[in-house]
Amino acid sequence: MSEKNYKLVRNLELIAFLILALVAAYGLVITKAPDEAMRYLIPQYIFNHGKLPVGTEPEVINQIWGFSYALYPYLTSQISVVFMKIASVFTASPLVLLFAARLTSVLSGFGTMIFAFKAGKLFFKENEFALLFGTFVGFVPQFIFLCSYQNNDCFAVFCSAIIIYCWAYALKNGWSMKVCLGLGIGCGLCMLSYYSAYIYCLASLILYFVNRAMKKEKGSDILLKALFIIIIAFLIAGWFFVRNYLIHNGDFLGRRTLNELAEQFAMEGFKPSQLANPANMGFTFKQTFISLYPGQVLRWPVIVIYSFFGCFGYMEHWLVKPIYFLYLILVAVPAVIFIVYMIARGKKEKPFFISGKLTILMILLIFMNLGLFMYMVYYSDWQGQGRYMMPSLLPVMLMATGGIRAIAGKKADNKPNGSVLAKVIIVVYFALCVFNYVRYFAPNCLQF
C-alpha cells in the first residue's frame, strides 16, 4: 500500500470512528452508561461551584453506595468542565451539557487511534499492518461504547497508547530527551486515569532500565533521564495525591476515606461490611473464576472475554455467540500464533519491527492487568466486566496484528506476502463493528 493510500484510509477510519462515537455520545441514555450518573456528579460540582471537590461533599456522594469518585483521580472530569463551560455559552440544556462532558471520552478514543496508527508505523514496516493495528484498536464495539460516556477507562487506554508509542519510538531511535518527555507526560496522565493502568508506569521503568542497561549506555545519562521522566510525571500528577494526603490525613490514594464514607452513608446492604465477595462467602480462588458463580449462566472468563469485545448497558445487551467466536478467530488466535512465532524464531531476524523483549513486556502487562482484576473480584466485588481489561487493549491488538503478519510470511524476493490478507481483515473487522453498532448497540442504548 502506498503512503498516499495509507493516509487516505487512515483518515477515513478516524472520521468514521469520530462519527460513531459522537452519535453514541449524543444519543446514549444515561441509565445505559455504567457509573456515569455517579461520575457526572464531579464535573457538575466543578461547573456549578467553580472549585474542585474534596470528595466528602454531599453533592458528590452517591446516595446508594455512600462514596464519591472525587476521592479518585478525576482529570477527565476537569477536562469535561471545559467543554461544559463552552457549551453553556450557547445553551443551559442539561442534555447538551451532558453531551459536552462526554466529549472527553470521545476525544480520548480519537487520540487513542491516532497514537495507535503512529505506533503501528514504527512496529511494522508495511503500511497495511500499521493500518490493521489502528483498526484493531479503534473498532472494538466495547471501546466505542466506552468512548460514548464519561468514565476513566477510555482515557486510561489513551494514556497507554501514548506510552506504547514512546516505547516504540525509543526502541527504534534511542532514548532522547524528547521521547523521555513524552514518556513522562504519558505516565503522568496515566496516573490521573485509572489505578489498573498504573502497570504502564511500572512497565515503562522496567523497559527503560533493561533496554539501556543491555546496550551498556552511560550510567549517569541513564539515571539523569530516568529522573527527568519521573519529575515530569510527578509535575503532572503529583498535585492530586499531595492534595489527598493533606486533606484526608495521609490517605493519598483516597481508598481508606472512601471505605469510611461508604460504611457511614451507603444504603443498607451496600455498605462495605455487608457486601458479599467470594473471599467472605467461602469460595476458593479457583471456584470463583472456574466454576459458575451464583446467579450467573456463564463462567467468569467467558463473561470477561465476551464483554471485552461488546456488551452494552449494565451488562444487559450482548452480541450473539457466533460474533464473539469470530472476534476470537480474528484477534485471539493470531495473538497466540504471534507468541508461538516469536518463541520459535528466538534471536533470528524478525521480518517486522517488534523486539522479543517488548513482546515479553506486552504479555507481562496483560497478566498484571488480569492479576489486579482478579484480586479485586475475589476480595472486593465479583465483577465480570471486560472493561476492566481495557488497559490491555493495545498489547492484545499488537500481538494479534503481529500474528497476522507472521501468517502472511514473505515472498521469495523478501517482500511482504500479506497485503491482501491485511486489507481483507481490515474491511471485515470494520464492517463487523458497524454491524454490531447498528444491530445491537443503537437500538438498545440510543435515544433521539
In this predicted model, what pLDDT tens digit does every residue of 180-206 receive, in sequence order? 999 999 999 999 998 899 999 999 999
- Please give the grid coordinates belonging to residue 301: 472468563
Q: What is the DSSP string of 238-301?
A: HHHHHHHHHHTTT-SSSHHHHHHHHHHHSPTT-STTT---TTTTT--HHHHHHSPPTT-SS-HH
Q: Quick check: is 49 in a domain?
A: no
Do the domain assignments include residue 56?
no
Mean pLDDT of 146-174: 95
Buried b (16+ CB within 10 A) or exposed e, 407-438: ebeeeeeeebebeebbeebbeebbebbeebbe
Identify the band that residue 412 occupies on the pLDDT scale cut at 50, 70 and 90: very low
Supply the pLDDT for residue 346: 64
Report the C-alpha dihedral over residues 310, 311, 313, 318, rounded to 10 degrees.
120
Question: How many CA atoms lie less than 13 Å away from 60 in the CB half-sphere?
Answer: 25
What digits encode the pLDDT tens for the residues 359-389? 889 999 999 999 999 999 998 888 889 999 9
201 falls within a domain: yes
Q: Determine, yes or no, domain membership for 230.
A: no
Q: Looking at the domain assignment, is residue 410 inside a domain?
A: yes
pLDDT at 146 > cutoff 80: yes
Residue 396 in domain: yes
Band of pLDDT at residue 413, cut at 50, 70 and 90: very low
Nearest partner of 92 among 46, 42, 150, 44, judged by Cα: 44
pLDDT confidence of residue 408: 83
d(CA 245, CA 184): 22
Q: Has residue 354 got a pLDDT over 60?
A: no
For 97-114, what is each residue's pLDDT tens digit?
A: 999 999 999 999 999 999
Distance of CA 100 to the CA centre of its chain: 21
Mean pLDDT of the chain: 92
User: Does 7 map to a domain?
Assistant: yes
Q: Which domain holds residue 384?
A: 3-28+109-171+190-224+278-445
Question: pLDDT tens digits, residue range 260-309?
Answer: 999 999 898 888 888 878 888 888 888 889 888 887 888 999 999 999 99
- What is the count of structural domains for the chain? 1
Contact between residue 143 and residue 157 where contact means Cβ atoms under 8 Å apart:
yes
Q: What is the pLDDT of residue 348?
A: 60
Which residues, other chains included, contact 396 with Cβ-Cβ below 8 Å and sequence gap of 6+? 331, 335, 366
